[in-house]
Structure 1
């Protein structure tokens, strides 16, 4: 009986290689599912941030237009200098080539930045 107890205790000291491989395989499957999902979330948030910036530019241009600065074209730097934008969002800072054009009260955006800038 004592020998049987010693054998039982020896068998219960750790994980087998098969058990460890099974855990690693399960973790690999979870990561394979999660990584593309995380990429989609990041991509969607970048698109929504861009849309929010475009709405911000539209509102600033409309405010400038109705405040008596009725021009056909506004740059972001002009809108910031005149106080219609608090600051230019990251990715647009330091550029004067993003235009907001007024077509009869309807504002149209044209991003004239060169690719990579």
Structure 2
């Protein structure tokens, strides 16, 4: 009897349907986790890029004010402060926003308030 079972097991090639189903389920779970992590990491990268853009625009506005003794009227006035083009919001983070907007005001004490919209985001 044992010899017959051993012979049958030796002739068996491939995997059973149950083994294949278990493998497919495990792969599906791993793929689902991977997709979730990818989406989260992608959003974090977009937020980091956006926050860097806001800081770059704010610093460029500060430099413009110090060099010209007046406020910039728009972000395009700051173009000479950038080594490349004026930064744009990351695609997908703000679907309704195409460009950053800049608002610079001076209070009674002579202190400049620089606001970039959309502003800094937290993760």
Q: Which residue of 2 aligns with 1:110?
A: 117
SS across alignment from 1:67: helix
Partners in 2 of 1:41 and 1:10 — Cα distance? 48
Count of residue pairs the alignment pairs up = 103
Per-residue Cα deviation, 1:44-82 (whole angstroms, up to 9, x for no partner): 1111111100000001000101002412x43221111xx
| Matches of 1:6 and 1:49, distance apart in 2 | 64
Q: CA RMSD in A?
A: 2.5
CA distance in 1 between counterparts of 2:54 and 2:73 reads 13
Give the ranges of 4+ consecutive aligned residues of structure 1 lying more than 6 Å apart after TM superposition: none
Distance between the aligned counterparts of 2:20 and 2:14, measured in 1? 10
Matched ranges for 1:10-21 at <5 A: 10-11=11-12, 13-21=13-21
1:57, 1:100 within 8 Å by CA — same for their partners in 2? no
Q: TM-score, normalised by structure 1?
A: 0.72
Query: Following superposition of structure 1 onto structure 2, how do residues 65-76 of structure 1 map, counting pairs within 5 Å?
Result: 65-71=65-71, 73-76=72-75
**Looking at both structures, which has the greater relative contact order when contacts are Cα pairs under 8 Å and sequence separation is at least 6?**
2
Q: Which runs of 5+ in 2 are unaligned?
A: 91-97, 119-123
Give the distance between the partners of 1:50 and 1:61, measured in 2 at CA.
17
1:99 counterpart (99, 102, 112): 102
What is the TM-score with the length of structure 2 in the denominator? Answer: 0.69
- Stretches of structure 1 that go unaligned for 5 or more consecutive residues are 112-117
